[in-house]
Amino acid sequence: MDVPSLHSQFLDDLLPRLRGDARVAGVALTGSLAGGRPDAYSDVDLILVIGDGAYDEVMRERLALIGSWTSLVAGFTGEHVGEPRVIISLVGPPLLHVDFKFVRASDFAERIEDPQILWDRDGLLAGALTQRPPVAEAFDLQWIEDRFWVWVHYGATKLGRGELFETVDFLAYLRETVLGPLAARRAGTAPRGVRHLEAVAPEEAHELRATVCGYDRHEAGRALLAAADLYRRWSDADAAAVERNHHAEELAVRYLRDVIDQDS
């Protein structure tokens, strides 16, 4: 594992302290450090596996425990990303972003990818990974098609009203939810929003620049049209698996063009 020195030193200091807590059954690593793409800006994504009987107690003490294991600067729970088991933290200095995910031992086998086991007290983690394979998160193209042209109309209404902050944010939503995952699929990698897109799908990332705009009405209109065009082209590869709503597409794009032409 080729890990930047700051990250490596953090793990070297942390792991012996975790071994000293009998409630911790093991520690695993996910994210870019485990996936072989780390750099100086990478987070440390840790899974702390806790014995079932001690789990509730540990969850109540999480912040205090992290503060006893490392130099905690700030931390908070991850409900906003749908994962309340995670403590998102800064440690240091030097500052390092670390996510501590606390998982029951009986739940460790439920995963979307295999983590890298850093330490396993009694072989429990390795045994759990042999029980069942990882299950990747589904990327439902029909779910997107059923919504996309409604979204395009919504973005056009924001543009027409002159709500450019809303329009810029909406374009970011389309990149994160639709276009980034489609680009990753085209490049043969797992869809994860726009993360690492410049590295894993450089050609698609170059095209995606057309959907980025400044605080300018004309730029925003061009970016919305570009987003609609990229969705249409990039999703065509899976057209056989998707029931297209061509009527909605035609009307939504026409509405968007009418809004753009208002100030032409």
Residue-range domain boundaries for the chain = 5-131, 141-261
pLDDT at position 236, please? 82
Task: Note the CATH number of domain 5-131.
Answer: 3.30.460.10
- Tell me if 79 sits within 8 A of 133, measured CB to CB: no
> And the tokens for 177?
């939810």
Say which residues have a Cβ less than 8 Å from residue 15's Cβ, sequence separation at least 6. Answer: 27, 118, 119
> Which CATH architecture is the domain 141-261 placed in?
Up-down Bundle (1.20)
Intrachain domains 5-131 and 141-261 with the same fold: no
pLDDT at residue 109, as a whole number: 92
Q: Say if CB 146 and CB 178 are below 8 A apart.
A: no
**pLDDT tens per residue across all 264 residues of the chain:** 567 899 999 999 999 999 999 999 999 999 888 877 788 899 999 999 999 999 999 999 999 999 999 999 999 999 998 899 999 999 999 999 999 999 999 999 999 889 999 999 999 999 989 988 888 777 889 999 999 999 999 999 999 999 999 999 999 999 999 999 999 999 988 888 898 899 889 999 999 999 999 999 999 999 999 999 999 999 887 666 789 999 999 999 999 999 999 866
124 SS3 class? helix
Could you identify the residue written with the tokens 């061509």? 246
Cα–Cα distance, 231 to 224 (Å, whole number): 11
Q: Rounded to an integer, what distance in angstroms lies between the CA atom of residue 137 and that of residue 160?
A: 36
Q: What pLDDT is stored for residue 37 in this prediction?
A: 76
Is 89 exposed, middle or buried (CB count within 10 Å of its CB: 0-12, 13-18, 19+)? buried
Alpha carbons 111 and 47: distance in angstroms, whole number: 11
Tokens standing for 203? 């050609």
Q: Which residue has the tokens 């698996």?
A: 241
Residue 10, H or E segment = helix 5-19
What is residue 116's predicted lDDT score, i.e. its pLDDT? 94
Point out which residues pair with 119 in neighbouring strands.
27
Hey, CA dihedral for 212, 218, 220, 224, is it positive or negative? negative
- How far CA 198 is from CA of 36, 107, 170, 206, 211, in Å, comes to 16, 34, 21, 8, 15
CB atoms within 10 A of CB 66: 20
pLDDT at 242: 87
pLDDT score, position 159: 97
Which helix (H) or strand (E) covers residue 44, if one does? strand 44-50
Return the pLDDT at 256. Answer: 97
